[in-house]
């Protein structure tokens, strides 16, 4: 029996395979790939390596996570004014949200307010999500109408993105 755990890294995917032979203690093998194009599985009993391609969503998630991590290295004044780099806790909050989202944003960028903005653009509507140290700001635009709100839970991002895509697929919403 084998249990599989995947851990995404900005430039690689790590697969940890735990194998439980009937008569031995569990063994563990860690494999790193150098390109985020596949996940490597090694069956220690059969001595066989299998490459499983990442989905487009997984590839996009790794790319987006790399982009977000780069924001904490921005120098003072990166925007041509006096903007500071993005705080580490904002980067971590953004990555945590990104990992929970099955639908990746259209755009990700830093703001001069020490926050990270995720944007979703769909036909006739868009959603802007600004992740700050202690809150999440939302702007939803549908046609000529817009609505802004603030929430303090990261889980609210998942709900907002899910609602946006559900309404895009259901003309009655």
Q: Round to whole Å and give the CA distance between 140 and 80.
A: 28
Q: Round to whole Å and give the CA distance between 128 and 80.
A: 23
Q: pTM of the full predicted structure?
A: 0.68
pLDDT in tens, the chain (173 residues): 343 444 444 444 444 444 444 444 444 444 444 444 555 555 555 666 667 788 888 888 989 999 999 999 999 999 999 899 899 999 999 999 998 888 899 999 999 999 999 999 988 899 999 999 999 999 999 989 999 999 988 889 999 998 888 887 765 65
Candidates 36, 41, 33; CA nearest to 57 is 36
């Amino acid at each position: 029996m084998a249990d599989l755990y995947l851990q995404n890294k900005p430039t690689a995917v790590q697969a940890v395979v735990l194998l439980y032979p009937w008569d031995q203690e569990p063994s563990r093998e860690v494999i790193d790939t150098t390109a985020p194009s596949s996940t490597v599985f090694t069956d220690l009993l059969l001595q066989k390596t299998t490459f499983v391609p990442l989905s487009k969503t997984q590839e996009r998630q790794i790319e987006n996570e790399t982009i977000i991590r780069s924001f904490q290295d921005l120098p003072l004044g990166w925007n041509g004014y006096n903007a500071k780099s993005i705080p580490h806790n904002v980067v971590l909050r953004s990555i945590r949200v990104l990992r929970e989202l099955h639908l990746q944003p259209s755009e990700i960028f830093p703001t001069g307010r020490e926050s990270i903005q995720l944007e979703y653009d769909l036909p006739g509507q868009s959603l802007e999500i600004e992740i700050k140290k202690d809150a999440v700001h939302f702007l939803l635009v549908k046609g000529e109408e817009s609505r802004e709100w603030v929430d303090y839970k990261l889980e609210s991002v998942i709900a907002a993105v899910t609602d946006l895509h559900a309404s895009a697929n259901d003309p009655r919403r």
